[in-house]
Structure 1
Amino acid sequence: MIVFAYFYDEPLLKSDFKTTIENLKVEKIYYDVGARNEFKKLFINCEILAPDYLLIRQLEELGDTPETVINNYQKLTELGIKIVILNDHKLDNLNDLECLKNTVDIDIKDPQLLENIRNNHKYLSLKKGQALRRTKFLPPPGKAPYGYRRGKESYLIDRSTAPIIKDFFEQFLLFGSLRGAVNYLAKKYGKKISVSTASRWLKNPVYRGDLKYKNEEIISNTHLPIISRDEAAQINRLLGRNRKLSSKTASAKHSLTALVSCQKCHNSMIINQVTQRSKKKEYLYIRPQKCPLNPQCKAISYQEVLDKTIEYICDNFPNQVKDFEPKKIEVYKNNIQTKIEEKNNIISQLPSLVESDILDEQTAQLRRYNLNIEISQLSSQLEQLPPENLKNIAEAVSLPRFWQDLSEAERRFYFREFIRQIYIEQISKVEWNLEITFII
């Protein structure tokens, strides 16, 4: 019993099909990517000595059009070859050559089968067209994102709406509040959007000057950005911090919200607001939520906790970053930039390779596309690096005056930049200690 196998992959598309056939003894495997040179060899060899079986993953692999598929299928079966579609059988069930005898024959003239072949080819043709647009770095189909308009080959900044987007990002960067930025747009511009829409704006690479396709691949620097790379990196850090918080606490007006927990009962601490009858003055207390101890942990003045938090940061944060070596960051950064330059050099050589007939145009476009994806991934690593002036930042935040000049919203922003968690240990009814775990 002689068994051949033929597999075809479109270079612009990633194959979703397995080619694992180790459990079958296959005499010869033919594999094509793009051009069908191996398929021609398969035909020649089959005419000399036809195998008993030909394994393929799906019928569409036999040609680039439905008519070609049907024609090639008929030619192969006329040579006495039984074609087995692996996609229609579990590979575990085809555990030996004898199992091939039990596979069902295909009726290529079945109207339903012919309709399926046509539909599959139409779908693959559509996916190939979309992939071809990606290799040319063209925007995906559909309406341009708010702040842009469609150009011939890229997004163009819309001068009427881009300032609104820019103001939205600046507002979020200033206060770190998503709902606050949404309310700001509605009040200043009459632009009403949902919180979910605003969240998508913050995460959308298009405002960084990048394109993101449905396959989650990102190509950098395809059009003019609305926000800078530094602003984008800061937004990503804020989103990362807020992701760990509930939607209510992420934009809470008190800077310590969701950051404090009780060392004794291990519960998070919430902020309570108390007012006295006939008096406008309000008192803020911070206490453990659902304390299980008896007696329960006591409430503490919010202002006292805030003052001690600032004092702790001023005393300890500079020591936290004293071992930080900007040179190591610089070396790592230079290594990444060198890799980016190497890939850009390869991209610059592709046109000459096409002119020399070493590469065809489609292969060159695909290579350029994959290199740009790798460049985008390396650029993303650069954006995640801590700032090289971290020690200078530490010196600034270690000054009590720095914190006194900030509003609660601004303090909330900086606290979540540096603080992972604040722990309060209650020693007695009146005594307590505070300890902070920094993110850096």
Structure 2
Amino acid sequence: MLDWEHIFATRATRMRASEIRELLKLLDRPEIISFAGGIPDPALFPKEVFAAAYTRVLTGPAAGTALQYAVSEGNLALRTWLAGYMASLGVACDASNIIITSGSQQALDYIGKLFLSPGDTALVNWPTYLGALQAFNAYEPRYDRLIPLGNRPAEDFATAARDAGGAVKFAYASADFANPTGETLDRATREKILDLADTLDIAVIEDAAYQSLRYDGEAIPPMLALDIARKGHINDTRVLYCGSFSKTLSPGLRVGWICAAAPVISKIVLLKQAADLNTSTINQMVLADVAETYFDTQVATIKAAYRARRDAMLKALDTHLPAGCSWSKPDGGMFVWVTVPEGLDGATLLARSLETVKVAFVPGKAFFADGSGGNTLRLSFSCANEAQIEEGISRLGKLLTEAIAGL
């Protein structure tokens, strides 16, 4: 057989299967209570609303346009709606500051391609979103710890990057209800990241996939809004805001966006032209229709459902998890991050859990750029009802009690 390894590019050695994507296969096993996939509950999708929108688009005067190629920047009606949405978040912009992508995952891939040369440094949270690591890994970067910032001087980041043979190119952070921890960066931390970026003269990548899913507390301005307040105009800012309809309206349509300074958007348009020409035209047109008429209603519906599930999971964790375990208490999003005693390994616990108590979760190690965090777990509450959450956490508590006793 042909040995492909010597033909592949060096970047292929850094490509790994997603543990999360593999675990999604467990959703089809009825005996498993799954807290693994951080995905929306399909029962909450506005199917009838989308069906009516597709009918309007395909039977209207723009049906031919919907089935045709389109400009790489994205559908103008959708980008105009998004400019208004961004304005509601404190981001003054227009359609020229927005490009539509095939989900925010494609946005992260484009960002890696645009900024990273082999050996350059990306600053990331510790832990951070696994999909971001997978997207960036193809461009052969080095990673350095962004969060917690502490009192580390900016020059230390630059020196470490130079010593590794590259330069710091960007700081990546999920500011609201982060995947995997569920934690939110307070305003002071967001300002510190901007200070660091100004000093190092680097970009800031703001992953805002979960921003709409706030259940408690006051909203904090996006880092892009804070940077506009500093610089005066979006075209003078260094933040790239990555948004998505996947957690609000539908992940299956694969529509996300980047909002940033126009010179950056123009470069990303070139990447889009070379990659896939344009995101699905009909899906963009349908989303423009649905967003205009139903976005706020849908967000209110899913927030009510996910808030109840979040509350049920936190209550169950309080009731059933043994001493020595701790967990995050998120104000929104889809995730709770559990830390178990040192000496326990999340992957080993998962294998035992699937065999004995039939509960799935994601081992936390996958979210650390350096492979640490073996004693952490990510739990998602988005696709389990309150009764399943109570039963599943009860089973998990028994498993952890036995595992801790065996240390």
Normalised to the residue count of structure 1, the TM-score between the two structures is: 0.24
Normalised to the residue count of structure 2, the TM-score between the two structures is: 0.25
Tell which structure's C-alpha radius of gyration is larger.
1
